[in-house]
Amino acid sequence: MGSYAAVVRQTLLLAAAMTIIVFAAPAEAKPWCGLCAGIAIILFLSVALWRHAAVRRLSARIDEVLHSGRAVAFEKCREGDLAVLTNEVEKMVARLSRMADQLQQERNALADSLADVSHQIRTPLTAVELMLPAIERMDDPLERKRAMREIEELLERIAWLVTTLLKIAKVDAGAIRAQTAPVSARAMIERAAAPLEAAFDLHDVRLRIESDDAATFMGDEMWTAEALENILKNCMEHTPAGGSVTIRAAENALATTFTITDTGPGIAADDLPHIFDRFYRGTATAETPAPEGFGIGLALAQALISVQGGTLRAANAPEGGAQFQIAFPKLVV
């Protein structure tokens, strides 16, 4: 019943049909047929007008929700097709309202992330900008070479930040398709540790690998190695010279786990709930100064593990130091 005109047309058609029936009826039945026809027309018109009014009220409520953000209530849950339609529309509006709140939260988070990214990139770029005039005035080739190396390191940090942010964006957008295939645990560990060998030597930190050659897991070797590399880098940066980082791979009937433990000061209790938050760098203390990283390596590691159906947890080892555990379950219940 989209409009009153439609109601009038349908009523006229019904009246015409009833008139034909009355004229076709025997003479002695015409009065009763006419009475029944009149009652039928009145009932039809009443129901049609009532349904039309109900649809208009529903339309007004939808318009009010869309334009004024009025809350949706479910106190008019009755039987009937129109009531069912009303309830379904109210459910849809409630869902759209939740989605709008979620989108607003995501927009706020995106704005905060963009501000963090801008700050993280601006800091090394500002350092480079300040160093360039000083390099131009340097006469000592050794000093000039040292300053150029510092600029190269700053540019490498910026490149790493941009690359990592792009990978996180791909995970968020669902653009990363992780393969599921049998992977050798030791081969994956060696692949993750290879790019960090020189860095471990420079930091005077020993990397220990304890893994059964037969241990395997179902996942993506490349993305798991990427995640493990970020965890190893984080542990190395928080381990003092002379310390060590240990990787243990174990396989049982339920899961394959990788446990990474360092001999550093561990993770502060206030930092544990936020250790995988993006751009979270921890609180500086007398024993542990503020880290130099960007605070996105562990966030990327968790995203890459989660997209494969695995889990990544952080804790403090009983003997001291930070401990990270990656688990790939074998059974999904």
pLDDT in tens, 127-146: 888 888 888 888 888 888 88
The residue among 177 and 55 whose pLDDT is bigger is: 177
Task: Give the pLDDT of residue 140.
Answer: 86
Q: Can you list the pairs that 65-72 forms with residues at least 24 positions away whose Cβ atoms lie under 8 Å?
A: 65/93, 69/97, 72/97
Task: Write the pLDDT tens digit of every residue in 89-132.
Answer: 777 777 777 888 888 877 776 676 677 677 667 777 888 888 88
User: In the numeric block, which tokens belong to residue 208?
Assistant: 């220990």
**CA 182, CA 305: separation in Å to the nearest integer?**
15
Mean pLDDT for the stretch of residues 15-34: 75
Instruction: Return the exposure string of 216-244: e unless at least 16 CB atoms fall within 10 Å of the residue's CB, then b.
Output: bbbbbbebbbbbbbbbbbbbbbbbeeebb
Q: Confirm if 294 and 277 have CB atoms less than 8 A apart.
A: no
Which of 234, 239, 240 lies closest to 295, judged by CA? 234
Contacts of 98 (CB under 8 A, 6+ apart): none
Structure tokens at 18: 């009833």
Q: Among candidates 186, 70, 164, 83, which has minimal Cα distance to 117?
A: 164
What is the per-residue pLDDT for 187? 93
Number of neighbouring beta carbons within 10 Å of residue 288? 16
pLDDT of residue 1: 42
Using pLDDT thresholds of 50, 70 and 90, give the confidence band for residue 288: low
Q: Which positions ≥6 away from 196 have C-beta within 8 Å?
A: 207, 229, 232, 233, 236
Q: Are 326 and 311 in contact (CB under 8 A)?
A: yes
* Whole-number CA gyration radius for the chain: 35
Report the share of the chain in percent with pLDDT over 70: 81
pLDDT at residue 74 greater than cutoff 50: no
227 pLDDT band, cuts 50/70/90, is very high
H helical segments located in 238-322 = 297-306
Q: Are 37 and 18 contacting, i.e. CB atoms less than 8 angstroms apart?
A: yes
3-state helix, strand, coil in the chain (%, to 5): 60, 15, 25
- End-to-end CA gap in the chain: 50
**Whole-model pTM above 0.85?**
no
* Full DSSP string of 165-220: HHHHHHHHTT------EEEEHHHHHHHHHGGGHHHHHHTT-EEEEEE-TT-EEEE-
Helix ranges (H only) for 194-287 are 197-202, 221-237
Answer yes or no: is pLDDT of 2 > 60. no
Whether the pLDDT of residue 256 is over 90: the answer is yes
Q: Are 226 and 262 in contact (CB under 8 A)?
A: no
Could you tell me the pLDDT band of residue 328, with boundaries at 50, 70 and 90? very high
User: Which residue, 10, 18, 57, 14, is CA-closest to 37?
Assistant: 18
What is the structure's pLDDT at 84? 64
- The whole-number average pLDDT for the span 265-294 is 73
Distance CA 330, CA 332 (A): 7
**What tokens were used for 330?**
């074998």
Our CA dihedral for 172, 175, 180, 181, rounded to 10 degrees, sits at: -130
User: Which pLDDT score, from 0 to 100, does residue 213 have?
Assistant: 82
pLDDT in tens, 187-223: 999 999 999 998 899 899 999 999 888 889 999 999 9
The answer to whether the CB of 258 falls within 8 A of the CB of 220 is no
